[in-house]
A and B are shown apart, each in its own frame.
Chain A
Amino acid sequence: MQLDIKKITKSNGFSAFTSALLAIGLGLVCGFLVMLGASPENSLYGFQTLLFGGMTRLGDVVYYATPIIMTGLAVGFAFKMGLFNIGASGQYTMGMFFAMYVGFMFKPPESIHWLLCMLAGLVGGILWGFIPGFFKALLNVNEVITSIMFNYIGMYLVDMLITKNSTMYISIKARTAYLPASAQMPSLGIRNSGANISFIIALLIAVILFIVLEMTIFGYELKATGYNKHASIYAGMNGKRNIILTMMIAGGLAGLGGAFYILSPSTIPGASMTYEPINVIASNGFTGIAVALLGSSNPLGIIFSGLFISYIQRSGSLVELYGYKPEIIDIVIAVIIYFSAFARLMGMAIPRLFKGKKSRHSESHDDASEPDNPPEGPGEEIPASDNPAVEASGKGA
């Protein structure tokens, strides 16, 4: 039994899971402290709402989770290859625009209209992911810089194109018109929410990505490049092609997120989701970074972290009832992200805790379980890596 605990606590997945939980716990504690400081008398009820408020709006939780799961996948998938796709916002916006454009301007058979809109979103995102990938692969331009720039280029371009298009834009209301019903995704039928089929599609995509990463040679190459670029070159992998492909896939994922967002049916009959071209970068793209971090870039983990962040955001909108600003939830999320960044360290401390206890109980057992464990590892390696900078300079000489 003890052996089992050890195996589980040692696994990567476990450490990622515990570290995510720790980060969430610390984030919530901070949220509570802020509430306590802002308005002590309401803090208990407020915190209760923060924890359980989302339960009353599960449909909304699902609905709002869908786009951030997609942007989370976009960031996480690229991250597996060691690329920091900070451009999910731009890809998301482009995807949204492409989807909207097909929704407004094309009149295909009604039954496949929404499907075409969705695919258009995919294409828009792929395009916006391809460009930074292309620059990175062929000209070695840092993808962080290009994708940040493409966030702005995408956003201004879309806002410009929308405000100039009288079919799409209602200038009096400063927002887009309602999409035709045929362009909207089929609803899941949850009362009072926009939850729709896109959530199911997002889950399927996450599972497919998981399979790609774990079971295909493309995933093998991608992760090998992410873990050790030099070894991937040594093994003759086509790094340039893989960079471009990965960025295209990441862009496509974020683009689908944008499409899912705008193509959702509204709870008000005849209405739909709308977009306000007010020159602001889509926050769902950045939330995607948070979702990916919290989910350790694992596609299945991202489903849960996306749902969680959506849930806590819904709860956050309810704490207003107790006189708190909904921004309090941004603080909680910020703290969670902050801690997930070094949470892996904390996660790694947990197995050590188990190990410490165990070796006191049954030392002989421990030895028997690892007869081959060589004593060198840390013994010889750590002194050398004590001061990496100095070591590196020594090697250079």
Chain B
Amino acid sequence: MSEYIIEMLNITKEFPGILANDNITLRLKKGEIHALLGENGAGKSTLMSILFGLYQADSGEIRKNGVPVQIRNPNDANALGIGMVHQHFKLVEIFTVLENIILGVEPNKLGFLKMKEAREKVMELSEKYGLRVNPDAVIEKISVGMQQRVEILKMLFRENEILIFDEPTAVLTPQEIDELMEIMRGFNKEGKSILFITHKLNEIMAVADRCTVLWKGKCVGTVEVKNTSKEELSRMMVGRDVSFEVEKKDMEPGDVVLSVRNLTVPSKFHKKNAVRNVSFDVRAGEIVCIAGIDGNGQTELVSAITGLERPSGGTITLCGKDITRANIRTRSKTGMSHIPEDRHKHGLVLDYTLEQNMVLQRYWEPEFQNKGFIKKRNVRNYAEMLIEKYDVRSGQGPLTIARSMSGGNQQKAIIAREIDKKHELLVAVQPTRGLDIGAIEYIHKQLVASRDAGKAVLLVSLELDEVMAVSDRILVIYEGEIVGELDPKKTTVQELGLYMSGAKRDIA
């Protein structure tokens, strides 16, 4: 009997033009929590997709308990006891928790469901591992944390012994993350083996036994977590030293740039208002951060400020000008720059070249057009200048199709465009979402530089580390209301978490 329950030996997978996995070897011991660490695009998801049967490796071998196996599809993986919690949950929204858990392996007799038996088994598992769920709740009505527990129960119901978690903490509050860590340790005691994809070093240090680091499709190495440090892991992951502290000099906030009063925005999903009677100011030279769990009205609040949605009440004033009902172009001219939440949906025209995207907010200015004709030379020069200045990397420079660029460089392009544009207020919504440590460090520096240049910055973030590190002032949003205003220097992540989950509030 082998020491390892799963071995992925010399796995190579090539996509057109890209070697996603280059001769990677990963060995998972029975009963360990094994972290898989790497930047975006390092090949973590590809490797796990191969293990879960979503892709076939070009070469290499997978062994279970020392015996070579073939995993052609997720059903094969399931039969081998491999289960996966995907980053985006794969649940049927209108089904109940119980129905989702048994989906695909419904206990039945001659085609008739045996729901009672299923329910008993689910409740038993739920109790055993402390996975609190309401089996009769409909998925679309429960919290993201509970949805994740449903995904975990799905794996347990299928009696999987190898559990893959793909960035499980991205959507959770600090308290929920602690809970998840506890649950993972519980699995560990039961002898289940866990593969845990992440790029958050704190979590690895907290729960993992060993950690394999990937870098640009290659395996950098596997280390014992107790013998290593955050600094060493990050060096392995990025290939250089990374500072975790964001350097900021003290700033005196200046005049009020953005003033929001009694803003109310209707929701698209339910009858209640998504944003309720929200008021705040952002001054020149400060970074104000809206913190909160995803779906508490941040998106709607920003949409109303940037003009993507119409508020139903209240006023928005930018640089002394009422822009509550102004169109997007007017807001842009008045001095608003906007790094949007969804860079693919709003931020870029993916089928346009990089240079065409670089002038997306400015193509109509006399610098870039004359009587309706685009001044191609100016566009090219401007794009080349931004690419150089903001270090946007791409295959063919200004002529690269935006779609073919990496996520980090797409985001850099948007940031270059928005920061270089003449502006007084920079609205940045989750600017580091899905990016690796190197890119995050870079973006934080740019936000701080913008603030130091006397601009007002409104940051919306779900990452607490980011909220604590970057902001000068934190506004916590819960169910569409600002429930607290905190100073990052005087508060803790735990306290922030209490406000975010609605357990604590100052402002009525």
Residues of A in contact with B (beta carbons under 8 Å apart)? 215-218, 220, 223-224, 227-228, 230-238, 352, 355, 370, 372-380, 382-384, 386-387, 390-391, 393-397
Contacts and interface: CB of A to CB of B under 8 A. Distances in A.
B88 A394 contact: yes
The 5 closest A-B pairs by CB, nearest first: A376-B41, A236-B329, A379-B20, A236-B328, A374-B406
A231 B55 CA distance: 32
Interface string B7-23: 00000010111111100
8 contacts: A215-B376, A228-B345, A230-B345, A233-B328, A375-B41, A376-B40, A378-B15, A393-B91
A375 B43 contact: yes
Given A390-B88, A394-B90, A231 B360 contact: yes
Contacts of A386: 54
Given A377-B41, A391-B90, 18 more contacts: A216-B374, A223-B349, A224-B352, A227-B349, A230-B342, A233-B346, A236-B307, A237-B329, A238-B329, A374-B406, A375-B19, A376-B42, A376-B407, A382-B15, A384-B88, A386-B54, A390-B88, A394-B89
B495 interface: no
Contact of B352 (A227, A352, A384, A396): A227
B351 interface: yes
A397 B15 contact: no
A373 B18 contact: yes
Contacts of A379: 13, 15, 18, 20-21, 41, 43, 45-46, 217
A235 B418 CA distance: 11
A352 B46 CA distance: 21
A379 B307 CA distance: 35
Nearest to B345: A230
A380 B356 contact: no
Give the interface SS of chain B, mostly helix, strand, loop or mixed. loop
Between A224, A231, A393, the greatest number of chain B beta carbons within 10 A of the residue's beta carbon is seen for A231
A220 B363 contact: yes
B283 to A, nearest CB: 25
A230 B21 CA distance: 34
B430 interface: no
Contact of B217 (A227, A370, A372, A375): A375
Contact of A370 (B13, B331, B395): B395
A11 to B, nearest CB: 11
A232 B13 CA distance: 37
Interface stretch (B139-147, B445-453, B482-490): B139-147
Contacts, number: 158
Contacts of B273: none
Given A215-B373, A355-B16, A377 B348 contact: no
Among the interface residues A237, A352, A355, which one has the most CB atoms of the partner chain B within 10 A? A237
Given A231-B360, A391-B88, A397 B348 contact: no
A374 B347 CA distance: 20
- B17, B40, B346: residue with the most chain A Cβ atoms closer than 10 Å: B17
A237 B307 CA distance: 12
Interface of B: 13, 15-21, 40-46, 48-49, 54-55, 86-93, 139-140, 144, 147, 216-217, 307-308, 327-332, 338, 340, 342, 345-352, 356, 360-361, 363-364, 369, 372-374, 376, 393-395, 404-407, 409
Given A379-B217, A393-B91, A397-B144, A215 B348 contact: no
B406 to A, nearest CB: 4
A375 B18 contact: yes
B241 to A, nearest CB: 21
Contacts of A231: 345-349, 360
B361 A235 contact: yes
B87 A384 contact: yes
A377 B15 contact: yes
Nearest to A392: B88
A215 B139 CA distance: 50
Contacts of A374: 18, 41, 393, 405-406, 409
A372 B397 CA distance: 10
A396 B42 CA distance: 27
A232 B43 CA distance: 33
B362 to A, nearest CB: 9
Contacts of A382: 15, 49, 55
Contact of A217 (B329, B342, B372): B372
A26 to B, nearest CB: 24
A232 B347 CA distance: 9
Contacts of B42: 375-376
Contacts of B373: 215-217
B395 A396 contact: no
B394 to A, nearest CB: 6
Contacts of A355: 16-17
B374 A217 contact: yes
Given A372-B393, A383-B45, A390-B88, A378 B93 contact: no
A236 B41 contact: no
B93 A220 contact: no
A223 B360 CA distance: 12
A380 B361 contact: no
Contacts of A233: 308, 328, 346
B224 to A, nearest CB: 27
Contacts of A223: 349, 352
Given A234-B340, A390-B88, A380 B41 contact: yes
Contacts of B139: 397
Nearest to A374: B406
B310 to A, nearest CB: 13
A397 B41 CA distance: 26
Contacts of A236: 307, 327-332, 361
B328 A234 contact: yes
A382 B350 CA distance: 16
A238 B329 CA distance: 9
B422 to A, nearest CB: 14
A228 B348 contact: yes
B474 to A, nearest CB: 26
B216 A375 contact: yes
Contacts of B19: 375
B82 to A, nearest CB: 15
Nearest to A231: B349
Contacts of A380: 40-41, 44-46, 407
Contacts of B140: 396-397
A234 B409 CA distance: 20
A352 to B, nearest CB: 6
Contacts of B342: 230
A13 to B, nearest CB: 13
Contacts of B356: 220, 224
Contacts of A372: 393-395
B349 A377 contact: no
A395 B43 contact: no
A217 B18 contact: no
A370 B376 CA distance: 25
Interface centre among B217, B330, B372 (most CB of A within 10 A): B372
Contacts of A218: 372
Contacts of B330: 236
Nearest to B369: A217
Contacts of B406: 374, 376-377
Nearest to A394: B88
Contacts of A234: 308, 328, 338, 340, 346-347
Contact of B16 (A232, A352, A387, A397): A352
A220 B374 CA distance: 9
A351 to B, nearest CB: 9
Interface centre among B21, B88, B328, B404 (most CB of A within 10 A): B88
Nearest to A7: B396
B57 to A, nearest CB: 13
A384 B361 CA distance: 30
B52 to A, nearest CB: 9
A383 B369 contact: no
